[in-house]
Amino acid sequence: MTFDTIAADRPLRGVVVGAGFIGGQWAPELLAHPQTSLAGWVDVDEERARAAAGKLGLDDLPVSASLTAVLDGEEPDFIVNCTVPQAHHDVTVTALRRGVSVLSEKPMAVSLDEARSMVRAADESRRLFAVNQNRRFMPTLVAFRRTVADLGPLGLLTSEFFMPYRNKNFLDTLEHPLLQDMAIHLFDAARAVSGADPVSVYCESFRPSWTWYAGACSATAIFEMTGGLRYTFAGSWSAPGQPTSWTGSWRAAGTRGTALWGGDGHAPTAEAADGQVVRAYAPGSDPFPGRRRFGGLAEGLEEFVTGLRTGRAPQGECHDNIRSLAMVTAALESARTGMRVPITL
């Protein structure tokens, strides 16, 4: 995409929209980055935004329940959209149409039609719109991605995610809680690791008789990807034991060999096919050692700020991230119809 850059010699002014848990994680990142400042905080509950600012010692920070009021009054360069997914479209489009760039939490939107509308708004306004997929910055995932690149053309990529999770009340309100909440992390990682994009999917989402969820909390999916790759996914929010890591467990098979990754906290391993040589890359060091903040936010903010300054699109730029959302929406359609679904943008 092409978007306007900011040349002004000053920190970029950012506004956090949403004062829930993740908004409370993003605000310190804007305070810590040397090239950004926190210009305001917005939440539908103004007192919640005021309390969140107060916890950071920012009693004088402009807060409001009105996004447009803060956009007009503080003239930020960008917002960080930390609202609930159902609000992502309206918040993002409002900012873009007022000439303000957007860094958003996942998912981009709750439907592909909404996402397309958001991408159009970014194009028309010539503003940067990106979704921060924080797991892309995990040193172990980066190492697995480098390891897989040594395998040559891939034939198979698999991931499994099994977790006995009970702590998110909103999951009980979803028809397909695994696909609608967690799966995008693994689907986006599959794109990042393989370098391939989705072509079609067949998915089954179901509810085991023994689960504590009201909705279909378990799923299997087979994606056809570009280059002939098949990516398979299996997972459950109510696994009865032997959980995977939060980033799942992975296997990639290519012409030169196979690589395994047990998810965050595990270094990848690799084994070469006869007559071939492959290597398993070691995870790099944490670029922010000793931090207690949420992982992947500082890295995402750095890429976003660099993009606003240079015009270089960050990971998760909207024209790219919509492909990860399309994997989710197509998997949901397949689960509901029982049909293989082509993935189109």
Q: Of 335, 334, 219, 86, which Cα lies nearest the Cα of 343?
A: 334
Angstrom distance (rounded) from CA 28 to CA 169: 26
Angstrom distance (rounded) from CA 156 to CA 168: 33
Angstrom distance (rounded) from CA 165 to CA 52: 27
Angstrom distance (rounded) from CA 236 to CA 217: 6
Q: State pTM to two decimals.
A: 0.94
Residues of the chain with pLDDT under 70: none
Q: Give the pLDDT score at 145.
A: 98
Q: Give the pLDDT score at 286.
A: 80
Beta bridge partners of 131: 104
User: Which residue reads 């990860």 in tokens?
Assistant: 324
Q: Give the pLDDT score at 172.
A: 87
79 close to 93: Cβ distance less than 8 angstroms? no
Angstrom distance (rounded) from CA 65 to CA 31: 21
Angstrom distance (rounded) from CA 146 to CA 153: 13
Omega prior to 107 cis, within 30 of 0: yes
**Per DSSP, which regions of the chain are E strands?**
12-17, 36-42, 63-64, 78-81, 101-104, 129-131, 154-162, 198-206, 218-225, 230-236, 249-254, 257-261, 269-272, 341-342
Q: How far is CA 304 from CA 41, 115, 230, in A?
A: 19, 19, 31
Neighbours of 117 (CB within 10 A): 14
Residue 43 has which token pair? 């939440």
Mark out the alpha helices in 110-224 (DSSP H runs): 112-125, 139-149, 177, 183-194
Q: Give the pLDDT score at 136.
A: 95
Q: Give the pLDDT score at 65.
A: 98
Question: What does DSSP assign to residue 284?
Answer: P
223-226 long-range CB contacts below 8 Å, 24 or more apart? 223/187, 223/190, 223/198, 223/199, 223/327, 224/198, 224/199, 224/200, 225/157, 225/190, 225/194, 225/196, 225/197, 225/198, 225/199, 226/196, 226/197, 226/198, 226/199
Residue 217 has which token pair? 């909390």
User: Which residue reads 């995932």 in tokens?
Assistant: 141
Residue 204 has which token pair? 């089954």
Neighbours of 140 (CB within 10 A): 22
Angstrom distance (rounded) from CA 282 to CA 142: 9
Q: Give the pLDDT score at 138.
A: 94
Q: How far is CA 221 from CA 5, 224, 254, 311, in A?
A: 40, 10, 20, 36
Q: Give the pLDDT score at 343.
A: 97
Residue 344 has which token pair? 């189109």
> CB-based contacts of 216: which residues, under 8 Å, 6+ apart?
175, 176, 177, 178, 179, 205, 206, 207, 335
Question: What does DSSP assign to residue 211?
Answer: -
